[in-house]
Chain A
Amino acid sequence: MSTPTTSFDDNGSAQPRVLLVDDDEVNLMLTAIALRERGFEVVEVTGGDSALAALAETAPDLVVLDALMPGMDGFQTCQALRARPGYAQIPVLMLTGLDDDVSISRAYRAGATDFFVKSSQWSLLAGRLRYMLRASLTRIELERSKFRLARAQDLARMGSFDWRRGEGLGQLWLSPEALRVFGKNPDERVSVRALLRMLGAGQRRGLLRMLNEVVTHNAVLATDLSVVLIDGRQRVVHVEAEAEFEHGHGIGYTGVFQDVTDRRVAEDRIRHLANFDALTGLPNRRQLIWRTERALEHSRRLGHSAALLLIDLDRFKNVNDTLGHAAGDELLMEVARRLRACVRHSDQVMEGALEAAGMRSHRTLEAVGRLGGDEFVALLPEVTDEADAERVADRILEAMREPIYVAGQECFVTASVGIAMFPRDGLNLADLMRNSDVAMYAAKTAGRNAAAVYTPQLAGRGREKIELESHLHKAIERNELVLHYQPKVDVRAAKMVGAEALMRWQRGSVLVPPGDFIPLAEETGLIVPLSEWAVREAARQAKIWQQNFGFADSIAVNLPSRLFERSDLVENIHQSVSAYGVPHKAILLEITENNLMKDLHNVSLSLHRLNEIGVEISIDDFGTGYSSLAYLTTLPISELKIDRSFVRDLGITPQSSAVVSAVIALARSLGLRVIAEGVENLRQMDVLHRLGCSVMQGFLFARALPPDDLETWLKQTVLPRKAPWIGSTSDEPVPRVVGRV
């Protein structure tokens, strides 16, 4: 019977579809015609049964039901329809007689959306239907947005609540999502009391006090609660709510609960990462600065002293270098653990309480922290005097005494501690840090494994030196050290026969000569890592030259005697040359005569072992020391180097040439090579040559040059035979007086 027009569908706006049910065919017909006239699509049926049967196929947007019908009447039809899945919300209009009050109320009970008194005023009916459709759409939208809100809240672990003032703690209503936040089922009820029971006892009292305050003033409520759920899980729940008013009186609150545990955990983690050292778990530099500034503020206000202890491990680099970084890290962790026990260390500062609570709260600032590397700081926020701080420093030195087991072996670690006192040694963090640093280096200079208190004299006297040392300390890591090479020349053959490596320190734009830092390095022990580095670097350079121009001679490296005492010297050199794939003889070690004599006994064993693997030894500054000539016969020495002081006076004083010829004769008789250094002019060269020494080094030939410059020098001066020193000897016959060495 329905004749749907397509014109509405064509322009996209769907015609509302009405299922019209009336047993009176006349009314059915008229109503249908009237509604179609007004833009509805109408499906006509004449009874309740056929209406229910037509539902699925019709899929109406609304249903118009005559109330009184034979058989299944409108009320029964409506009830049956509502019971069908999907039809709980469809708008149903019940048509009743004008004076039929009973039917009207029955209609609502049966689930009708509205009623309409039959009349022939069709516009009214159409208007009512349109209104119902709009209301229904609004309702569907509302349902949808309620659903979306619930879902969004669920995802955000959030849920709403309402609280109404009332007897005792009032009435609390939680949405299903809010119940879920507290680990409850949607059908459970949670009273205020039950909620309070989920808080710890300590928190409960404070919260109640706060709630009272908030509720009294109808203020905004926003706080975090730590709750323990029924399954024992600990969660942090954020609550935020605003007061609701009726006639100007606060009647309760409405707001949300949100589980913010994850966020809180992440925040805590970020805070921890930002403030604590990842390796040792100690406060890091940033946290130490923060604590120190707080502590100084407090000291300033209350007029007491504080102390800053800078703790630096002695020779930690050795551990790292010999046992590896993993072992180094392990050692630092153990050191951190011991240091922490030396002070009243607090991981957490009672931040808020700092101002408010008792006078002693600044004590929680006390801590040991790690500045980086092997540097630690102990902050003592309140000390009576410097003796107080020294006691802590002694505790620290004592704590290091026990060996530390790392990488399966015992390590003995000592520390040097510098103490600076507030306000005496500095009024701010920067001064205290610098002065504790000065004191620490003073302790190191004095022999390490000790504590030193800062004094102005300390700074005045050794300030520069101490700063220099502190920088030299880091020079290797920062790649600030370079080697320059002075060629050794055989003037007879007019060619380079080797080079001596000389260390330079490229400090910013300044090239520091060795005289300015080698003595200091010797004094502080830094000479050891410096020399080890020099051997490695020389081996690397030998390889490069080998590749660039077939260099097959040796590079001489100066070593202090203390290095020869080290049991791992041979192994070190072996590793250095192996690393670059050059033979052992590519490295020649120079030791001064004085050094050699000082430690002859300890050094000789090393010399033998070095000689066995092919590393040659040269005696530097020969002729200046109190040599026992006997040792020359027992030691595996390959070369004597005539000291520059004799060379300088050659041709001026007869004594000098006497010494030089004696050295040459000695070398010849012992089968040693001889080389003269400090050759600055052709006169000196001539005399040496005549005396039988043809291998030399000095400014006459070349200064110590950067490796690239040395190559240029070779290419532009030696190979084209352009230097003044080349013509003057090579043309002469070999003098008779000079014996073959």
Chain B
Amino acid sequence: MSEPSDALLSARLSAAGVLDAQALARLQELDPGDKAGLVARVLTTYAQSLQRLLEQLRVARQDADAQGQRHVVHTLKSSSASVGALKLSALCADLEHRLREGLTLGLEGPLDDLCAEGERVLAALRQP
């Protein structure tokens, strides 16, 4: 399967309101002229990582594993910021903060929000 060009891909995803255009532009700067199909490769990696992390989060919620949840949101926070999934990154940052403070109550709502946003981003990335 031939990858769509990075520029096209970026334009589509930002237009859909999933990824931040500025962040995508910064990524593209790393690969001037589209030679390596960098954006596509990064987004593919991100999608795989996102899918794995969302699965890890589900398991951690079932097990009430606060440490596991914290690790997921920490990782997801920075990689989401890097690819421009800003809303998801912000949700992660908020949750990481609460978890670090040792809060256990009132996490369900934000966690649900986070999972929903994660699925949304994943779906958008997987659109052909």
Contacts and interface: CB of A to CB of B under 8 A. Distances in A.
B30 A26 contact: no
Interface in A102-151: 118, 120, 122
Contact of B30 (A25, A37, A99): A37
Nearest to B68: A70
A26 B71 contact: no
A18 to B, nearest CB: 16
Interface size class of A (residues with CB under 8 A): 10 to 19
A630 B23 CA distance: 151
Contacts of A122: 30
A34 interface: yes
A27 B42 CA distance: 9
A25 B82 CA distance: 11
Contacts of B26: 120
B45 interface: yes
A97 B96 CA distance: 11
A723 interface: no
B14 interface: no
B70 to A, nearest CB: 9
Instruction: Give the interface size class of chain B.
Output: 20 to 34
A26 B49 contact: yes
Interface in A153-168: none
Nearest to B32: A37
Interface in B80-95: 81-83
A26 B38 contact: no
Given A68-B71, A120-B26, A27 B45 contact: no
A546 to B, nearest CB: 113
A596 B108 CA distance: 152
B83 A26 contact: yes
A599 interface: no
A493 B79 CA distance: 140
B81 A24 contact: no
Contacts of A118: 78
B79 A97 contact: no
Interface of B: 23, 26-27, 30-31, 38, 41-42, 45-46, 48-49, 71, 74-75, 77-79, 81-83, 96-97
Interface of A: 23-27, 29-30, 33-34, 37, 68, 70, 97, 99, 118, 120, 122
Given A25-B48, A30-B30, 7 more contacts: A23-B75, A24-B49, A27-B79, A33-B30, A37-B30, A68-B74, A120-B26
Shortest 9 CB-CB distances between A and B: which pairs?
A26-B79, A24-B75, A26-B46, A24-B79, A33-B30, A25-B45, A25-B49, A118-B78, A26-B45
20 contacts: A23-B75, A25-B45, A25-B79, A26-B42, A26-B82, A26-B83, A27-B82, A29-B45, A30-B27, A30-B42, A33-B30, A33-B31, A34-B30, A68-B74, A70-B71, A97-B96, A118-B78, A120-B23, A120-B26, A122-B30
